Structure 1
């Protein structure tokens, strides 16, 4: 039984690990020169609190999936909390969030009661904490600490540096952590390198797929170094990311989807020697007051999102499929950024716009430099709702699975559904299913992981700090 996975992002790589651990013959096709790249991610959405617009049910799903992902890849998580702040210009109120936070806290309690190993987001009672401005003013008088161990210690730099006149009365700190793409890439590579039954074909483009209905299999044509080859497979997993529609088109499958080009910006705050939590300043997506995201890394490096068309989003950066093709067509300028890189002037201008956007809330955020090119890519979103944040996999036929994850935390749910599909086809025995997190290596060689993560960051022309953690231990 041969399985082809097209695309070696977090979805394809995780599926390859999962299926490989079950002893299946897997070939992983990747058009790039390394695995787990693509659209930037930096946040483990353990509750989805960045997204006020999604449902409580979607937030609960993200909570469950994030806990599973954290248990699978514990050494790629940056254990620093996230602060939620509502600007004075925003229509929302902190009290509007409390009901959802309590729902998430209760759900977390249930998961911990079911399995004590699920307590990976700190103690249940410490899932979140509310701070008034009076409490922040008191924290402002305290000294920052090099290694914060409590919510209060993590909140000190926020109290000292955020302009509280720009923020409504209440701030919230929640146990949503960082998710490091370079460490995840390194971790997945280290696991896959040890698996002889998983073959990785880098720098390889799938050019055509022919379904052989009589033999119930597929012929995949692929190109590597201008050499064209073909191979038969019994089952195909389409994890091609924003190019997913191209594979659908090869198989004459119709599907609605969106593709959105997005970017995050990398800065270095030369005067900063303080460890920060992540800080989210809420806003309405796509407006001049869109959400700002301030994500810390070691040695004064910060990743910045601003959900406006001048920063993270782009005018005409959203494309949708049509009746003739399942593949949305991005404008050529975005495809050029993905395949050839950015113009230096564009990097400078948009990164500086991102820096200025953060300065409205953190006036001390000055003497800040452009640290590298942005983190960027195109994200697929199944259907036609741009705010969708939870999706997993769709089965267009019994031997063709299409991965449709929007957030990295959904990869285990996706893989689990594929396993059940393979059981139904008698490709896997019915007793093969286990708790999904138990089949993965829990801890890897830390020194090797650190070194490889930095190497991958450098190969992709990013500072090595982006592959490092500011806090590698659970908060309590």
Structure 2
């Protein structure tokens, strides 16, 4: 049965309908409902935020050396705001960035952008001290020479990492120095737990009487009347929902709603996957490790994301691992919805063949073993994390995107990264004010998340563990690390 949360909002509040309960739709619903605005969130799945794998905060876009400087600055600011809202979702550990020996670039090529990001972070802290969520600005990144790492490799592993050097010790002990260029870069780029983020949205929306959540509910048809939208659903308890403003937050299926409304829009959709491994011989607290590479080639980026108790999530930006042949598609002249091949839809809607999961996980382990030889003993640790990612426009390198509007009380949340969801919510609030649908001043629309912030780490983690189990993933992926 669909979940129906009772409404008890001010009668003068406009009714906002949001289709899609991923990170974008859920964040927009939370933001509006926390301000006392009446919201109905429609999600076809059984719970919220159950889409593509979220594992990074993306505080500065350092995983993507090919994106513009402006996108990096935008992602830094967005990530800081995201961390302030979803404070129980972060895995507080840094990220190590390395360039392989065969790469055309040099580590020094990355430093000018890091200096710009560090200066921007310092400026944001000076504007508002609460923005210091990534540690002190002078520690935003550090360089590690080969000689420094050789010395660290001789040190004992600390029980708990207390500083940058402590985080580098397991890397120094396990990295094959002959495979990478120096210096290595340690940057305060944290992890983001998809399960604790989902748990936060579920628990907070449940407490907000201005937010109605309809799960297991699909929008079948949408019609525009003079002053409202009417959403026809498959929910027997709420077959018709009338709203004053409509937000399309359907993720990679955003185009299906556009088609329903006969609206043109160019976008791309890309199917990706990450793989869960368990390294029994893992010792010490690991940072994330990124080894850059040319996307789509056999030398694509290798990405090692740590979780609790020796579990790691792996990306390999090759067509044998994270990327897929024909996995990136664009819109056609006749539809705003890019059409993925049926084999990808089957993976999303049903399940992977066990043989295919094992083969790709094995390749992801081999890809990382090039740089960390002892990782060869890692084994498949669970089902892959996968999904399709929408990219508005025609630039496959776009990472910082938010929302687009139509004049007829309709908005599309078109985020690529989770940290952009809050910007989408704020832009929608500004649009509602502009249209006179809500009456709020600047002090009213500051980042006020009193209900969300009332949640404790313990209750969020408890719910996250339950979600991981329900979704058939190791519960260690939901646990808080670095505690």
Give TM class, smaller chain.
over 0.9
CA contact (8 A) 2:35 2:445 kept: no
The whole-number CA distance in structure 2 between the counterparts of 1:366 and 1:185 is 32
Pick the aligned partner of 2:88 from 56, 75, 82: 75
Residue 402 of structure 2 corresponds to which residue in structure 1?
392
Structure 1 position 93 matched with structure 2 position 103: no
Pick the aligned partner of 2:317 from 302, 307, 311: 307
228 and 5 in structure 1: CA distance in 2 versus 1, 3 angstrom threshold: closer
Residue 182 of structure 1 corresponds to which residue in structure 2?
195
TM-score by length of 1: 0.97
The whole-number CA distance in structure 1 between the counterparts of 2:238 and 2:477 is 37
Q: Describe the SS at the equivalent of 2:29.
A: helix
Residue 286 of structure 1 corresponds to which residue in structure 2?
296
**How far does the alpha carbon of each residue in 1:11-40 deviate from its partner, in whole angstroms, 9 at most, with x for none?**
100111111111122110001101011010
Residue 37 of structure 1 corresponds to which residue in structure 2?
50
Residue 366 of structure 2 corresponds to which residue in structure 1?
356
**How far does the alpha carbon of each residue in 1:219-252 deviate from its partner, in whole angstroms, 9 at most, with x for none?**
1111137x88222111100000000000001111
41 and 62 in structure 1: CA distance in 2 versus 1, 3 angstrom threshold: same
Residue 142 of structure 1 corresponds to which residue in structure 2?
155
Structure 1 position 224 matched with structure 2 position 235: yes
Structure 1 position 56 matched with structure 2 position 66: no
**How far does the alpha carbon of each residue in 1:398-433 deviate from its partner, in whole angstroms, 9 at most, with x for none?**
400100110111111111100000001111114165
Pick the aligned partner of 1:458 from 442, 452, 469: 469
The whole-number CA distance in structure 2 between the counterparts of 1:110 and 1:442 is 25
CA contact (8 A) 1:74 1:443 kept: no
The whole-number CA distance in structure 1 between the counterparts of 2:126 and 2:193 is 28
Q: Describe the SS at the equivalent of 2:373.
A: coil
Structure 1 segments unaligned to the other structure (5+ residues): none
Structure 1 position 431 matched with structure 2 position 428: no
The whole-number CA distance in structure 2 between the counterparts of 1:198 and 1:312 is 36
197 and 445 in structure 1: CA distance in 2 versus 1, 3 angstrom threshold: same
- TM-superposed CA distance for 1:130, in Å, is 0.2
Structure 2 segments unaligned to the other structure (5+ residues): 1-13
- TM-superposed CA distance for 1:369, in Å, is 1.5
Residue 327 of structure 1 corresponds to which residue in structure 2?
337
CA contact (8 A) 2:60 2:117 kept: yes
Q: Describe the SS at the equivalent of 1:365.
A: helix
Q: Describe the SS at the equivalent of 2:386.
A: strand
Pick the aligned partner of 2:41 from 28, 33, 41: 28
- TM-superposed CA distance for 1:446, in Å, is 2.3
Residue 8 of structure 2 corresponds to which residue in structure 1?
none
The whole-number CA distance in structure 2 between the counterparts of 1:380 and 1:301 is 28
Residue 431 of structure 2 corresponds to which residue in structure 1?
421
